[in-house]
Structure 1
Amino acid sequence: MEVKERKKGSANFFVYVVLGIVLLLIACFFSISYGAAAIPLKTAWQAIFSFDETLTEHQTILTLRLPRTIADMIVGASLAVSGAIMQGTTRNPLADSGLMGISSGATFAMALSLALMPQFNYIEMLVISCIGASLTTGLTYFVASTGKKGMTPQRLVLAGISISMLFGAMSSYLSIKYKLGHALMYFTAGGTAGAKWGELAVIFPLFVLGVLASIMLSPSVTMLSLGEEVALGLGLNIKRVKIFSTLIVLVLTGLSVVVIGPVSFVGLIVPHMIRFFVGVDYRFVIPASMLYGALLTVVADIIGRVINRPFETPIGIIFSLIGVPFFLYLVKKGEREF
């Protein structure tokens, strides 16, 4: 029976990966074509494969829309993989970097560095973001583990939301005190409009390392998702797996916050959707989550650009409109898909 289920999951994985790649390519071409100024798909294709520097449309695509689309894919994939890892290792169906307080810590660290050390370069900001994410992660786990009952999925989510509110308030305080103003407000709403090739060159190697590490760790995440007792029986070093998985989540979340701000719900929605289609084997869940997280973020960014032209709606608002009902649905249903 297990062999049949594994083969079925493998077949489904192949089908949905091919479908996801096709949809992602289509979404990417729409992403570089649609915006405040519409550019024909034919022109977008020519800008990529037959670039002409004398054409304004080609310059717009190469310097603005193409890096923005790549940033969308990197951020979406990173957040979806982070959510899948957290849901598997904690056996918490509500785990997400935004809901667990990780993104708020990275955002607070960014606000603090903008206020006190504005001369920091992009790499230094990325390091600061990861440090902030690790601080709130530690606080969330500490708060959730206190008390007689110890850590439970429900306590972990409540602790994460509380920490998120706390550090969100502190970020707002810094914004008011140091007059960070509009820049931080738009940053916290979430958006990749300012993505540049130089910044992508910095985060891309970290993104690749994080994704490769998560794929290598995926068999261990599958065992841990069955429960710690089962994982111990299978000879898994639980402490080591949790340390490595936490590091992966911190890096992927940290780079995402630097690029797009504290966006929630991507890591919540995508892994649930993927497990429904390909099963609970994280060797399939993690790479498929990476692909569909990228797709969902690109599509959300397109929606944010076109629904209120010529103005843009930050991508964080789009995800909140999708994610809040989904979160409430999970809370009401009390699903445990592990």
Structure 2
Amino acid sequence: MGVKRQLRYIILLSSPITIILVIFLSILSGSTVIHPADVIEAFLSFDSDNVTHTIIMTSRMPRAVGAMLIGALLAMSGALMQGMTRNYLASPSIMGVSDGAAFAITLSVIFLPALTSLQMVMLSLVGSALGTGVVFGIASLVRNGLSPVKMAIIGTIIGTFFSSVSAALATYFQVSQTMSFWYNARIHQMSPDLLWFTIPFAVAGILLALALANSVTILSLGDETAVGLGQRKGLIKALTMLSVVIMTGISVALIGKVGFVGLIIPHITRFFTGTDYRWVIPCSAVIGGIFLTLSDSLSLYINYPFETPIGVVTAMIGVPFFLYLIKTRGVGSHR
């Protein structure tokens, strides 16, 4: 345990430098060659007439920051869900949270095309809550429905249903091209204005997650233990899902559905830090942000000079990890 305690501090204390280096690497990545000196110059003495400076500040920098933020939000969401449910397969992409948000955005594009950025984000949050509520509602009605594998199956079925209905509506109303952005997670099409707009909401979700960290640790010990320790189980679970809905809804509104980040990063984090969610949640944010940013950089070179959707990169890593978890962990809890 002493080693893991040291790793906790190493991850968090080294995170500012690591994050800066990863963002710097992301800015350098792409079909247009940009030299490190250009990046430094753009930050120290930005020249709007310099095309390279404009590319850095209006395209690559928001993209890198967005990938870092979204990776952190999805990883924290997955950690919260796994801790709260004691389900090692819980994640926004598997439990219907992301698909519910994308479904709501599909409806807004079709029926409410003039929505403001705030309204779009709010609708995405409502969709996240809808997806979560449907999955947990059905799981509670099915025998042993809250077990890890059954919940994963139910979440996958509900997510597929939302995706199918969204695709059918998009095709019928001829908005498939517009909706492909949200279903293929093309991070290069992310709106910088929407990114800066959503940061206060993201901060609110992150602060709520951090505030709940100790309570989630207690919940992860089991419901009976949590009640015995005086935990207000219903309230904590409601606030935890509120944080998940906020963070996942923002992620989907920004770049669409990104799979597996919320599944694999919490497991990797617990391997390094142990099962205390006071450490798992913030460390998941750091590792998740770095992971998604590096995945985005890799997506630029898999089929160079064409860009590969970032979801393909995360799936290449996530699918084998998902199968590994099912094979090695069976139907038990995540602890």
Q: Residue 226 of structure 1: SS of its match in structure 2?
A: coil
State the one-letter code of the partner of 1:93.
Answer: Y
Matched, 1:248 2:243: yes
Matched, 1:237 2:245: no
Q: Residue 193 of structure 1: SS of its match in structure 2?
A: helix
User: In structure 2, what is the Cα distance between the partners aligned to 1:8 and 1:234?
Assistant: 28
1:23 CA displacement? 3.0
* Residue from 297, 302, 310 that aligns with 1:302: 297
Q: Do 2:39 and 2:53's aligned partners in 1 also have CA atoms closer than 8 Å?
A: yes
1:183 CA displacement? 2.4
Q: Residue 64 of structure 2: SS of its match in structure 1?
A: helix
Q: Do 1:20 and 1:295's aligned partners in 2 also have CA atoms closer than 8 Å?
A: no
Taking the TM superposition and a 5 Å limit, the aligned residue runs for 1:279-298 are 279-298=274-293
Unaligned runs of 5+ in 1: none
Matched, 1:208 2:203: yes
1:60 CA displacement? 0.4
User: In structure 2, what is the Cα distance between the partners aligned to 1:76 and 1:189?
Assistant: 16
Alignment correspondent of 1:156: 151
User: In structure 1, what is the Cα distance between the partners aligned to 2:288 and 2:327?
Assistant: 24
Matched, 1:228 2:199: no
Q: Do 2:94 and 2:159's aligned partners in 1 also have CA atoms closer than 8 Å?
A: yes
Deviations 1:205-246 (A, max 9, x none): 011111111111000000000101111111111001000001
Taking the TM superposition and a 5 Å limit, the aligned residue runs for 1:70-219 are 70-149=65-144, 151-219=146-214
Q: 1:273 to 1:52 in 2, by over 3 A?
A: same
41-50 vs 295-304, which deviates more? 41-50
Alignment correspondent of 2:265: 270
Alignment correspondent of 1:312: 307
User: In structure 2, what is the Cα distance between the partners aligned to 1:198 and 1:149?
Assistant: 45
User: In structure 2, what is the Cα distance between the partners aligned to 1:210 and 1:95?
Assistant: 18
State the one-letter code of the partner of 1:56.
Answer: V
> RMSD in angstroms over aligned alpha carbons?
1.4
State the one-letter code of the partner of 2:199.
Answer: F
Q: Do 1:64 and 1:196's aligned partners in 2 also have CA atoms closer than 8 Å?
A: no
1:300 CA displacement? 0.6
* Residue from 31, 34, 40 that aligns with 1:39: 34
Q: 1:172 to 1:249 in 2, by over 3 A?
A: same
User: In structure 1, what is the Cα distance between the partners aligned to 2:79 and 2:109?
Assistant: 31
User: In structure 2, what is the Cα distance between the partners aligned to 1:196 and 1:70?
Assistant: 12
Unaligned runs of 5+ in 2: none
1:47 CA displacement? 1.1
Q: Residue 306 of structure 1: SS of its match in structure 2?
A: coil
* Residue from 5, 11, 29 that aligns with 1:10: 5
Deviations 1:132-153 (A, max 9, x none): 1111111101111113445322
Q: Residue 212 of structure 2: SS of its match in structure 1?
A: helix
User: In structure 2, what is the Cα distance between the partners aligned to 1:213 and 1:327?
Assistant: 28
1:8 CA displacement? 4.9
Q: Which runs of 4+ in 1 moved over 4 A?
A: none
Query: TM-score scaled to structure 1, two decimals?
Result: 0.95
